[in-house]
Amino acid sequence: MDAREQLAYSDAYARTVESRVASVDDSGEAPLVVLDRTVFYPGGGGQPSDRGLLLRPADGRSWTVRSARKSGADIVHEIEPTPDGPPAVGDTLTVDLDWARRYALMRTHTALHALCGVVWRDYRALVTGGNMEPGGGRMDFEFERMSGDLVDEIEATVNAELAHKRDVRVNVLPRAQAFAIPDLIRTKINLLPAGIEEIRTIEIVGLDLQADGGTHVSNTSEVGSIKVTGYESKGRINKRIRLELVDPVAG
């Protein structure tokens, strides 16, 4: 086991885990806790960080995790201050995600990758930006022109691809092997650090393969369908597409 096991990257469906407190920084406005194991995703690539709870079975105390973020190799959990203070180094805790929120983000992220896959395959448009919240998000693409008819066509094609029940696979590849894959980087600017030796990829089998660090569902059937809720111009060749999930698929 790694000194800091970060399960979100290897098992997006892990909701809870037993852990020990590795360090606590109580010097700021909100305590910062590092655990030896966590299921929290720290945010990145347009996906917000997870929220949830830390529970101490020994006495029933709990702390609300309002955000998480990367700090070096660690994931730092920012907890709501409490009158009795944060947990102590060495405490055994149960780490518990807000699963409904995480699962909605997983579905949304996979939907955005399906959108990206369709737009790249059919129109060869690169991504220039993106963001998401549970149940909805937006992506910016290099389109010179966009119309209602084009957006309707994209929406129908994305929903057809999602309905194909395509598997979604996670792989970690050596850098040289990853960069030998054509079109692995879909963003206008390559955001991968120069020194990184392994590249995590997300593949929607038969549709899309790209470098990505976020959490996803394991099959597009879990996404349901999407609705494009708007589109707009953000510059001469930069167009934004907004989407929402339609089906309230339970996790």
Query: What is the CATH code of the structural domain delimited by 102-245?
Result: 3.30.980.10
Q: pTM of the entire structure? A: 0.92
φ and ψ at residue 119, rounded to 5 degrees: -65, -40
Residues in the chain, pLDDT under 50: 1-2
Q: Which residue spans within 142-250 are E strands per DSSP?
A: 168-174, 198-204, 208-211, 226-233, 239-245
Q: CA-CA distance, 213 to 200, in Å (whole number)?
A: 6
Name, in order, each residue with C-beta under 8 angstroms of 26's C-beta and a sequence gap of 6 or more.
Answer: 32, 85, 86
pLDDT at 191: 52
pLDDT at 2: 46
Q: CA-CA distance, 137 to 158, in Å (whole number)?
A: 14
- Cβ atoms 50, 41 nearer than 8 A: yes
Q: Which CATH number is correct for 5-97, 2.40.30.130, 1.10.1840.10, 2.70.98.10, 3.40.1800.10?
A: 2.40.30.130
pLDDT at 250: 58
Q: Where are the domains of the chain?
A: 5-97, 102-245
Q: In 10 A of CB 28, how many CB atoms?
A: 9
